[in-house]
Amino acid sequence: METYQIYSLASAVLFVVGLAGIFAARHFFKKIIATKIMGGGVFLCFVSFAERDALAFADPVPHAMVITGIVVAVSAAAFALALSRRIQQLTGQESFPVDE
């Protein structure tokens, strides 16, 4: 088994773990962290395939896209976090209301 195969399998598992977290978690905070874990799985998948396509060096295009992606994901998470804090401050709610 090659190095990249181990990590690409792990990336699929991480993605599903994050997905399960988004469905199962109630708190805003945990939902945001679950999306971050999902994103981590996607990035890991990208970088593991960059390693597969390596010649003298690993494929730089997925690396650059992942660096860009990390910054964008963190910006989005910061915004989501600010929104959820604001909701908590104004209404006291920390999770989405559940329909009966």
Partner 1 sequence: MSVWIDSLLAVLAVFLAVRCLLAPTLPQCVFLFFAFGLALALAWARLGAVDVAIAEAAIAAGFLGVLLIDALRDFAAPRTHGETAQKPHFLTQVLLGAGLVVFLYVALEAVWNVPDGGGLTALAADNLPRSGVDHPVTAVLLNYRSYDTWLEVGVVLMALLALFATGGKELFRRPVVGAVDPLLRQVILFFTPVLFLVGAFLLYLGKTEPGGAFQAAVLWGAAGILLHLGGWPVFAAMPRWTRQVLLTAGFGFFLLLGFIFMSGGSALFEYPVAYAGVLILIVETLAALSIAAALTAIFAYFNGMKAASVENEIPDPS
Query: Contacts with partner 1: how many residues (CB under 8 A)?
Result: 81
Decide if residue 4 touches partner 1 (CB under 8 A). yes
Decide if residue 42 touches partner 1 (CB under 8 A). no
CB of 79 to partner 1, least distance (A): 5
Decide if residue 35 touches partner 1 (CB under 8 A). no
Collapsing DSSP to helix, strand or coil, 100 comes out as coil
What CA–CA distance (Å, rounded) separates 58 from 62? 9
Q: For residue 29, give Cα distances in angstroms to 11, 74, 84, 85.
A: 22, 14, 8, 9
Decide if residue 63 touches partner 1 (CB under 8 A). yes
Decide if residue 59 touches partner 1 (CB under 8 A). yes
- Residue 84 identity: S
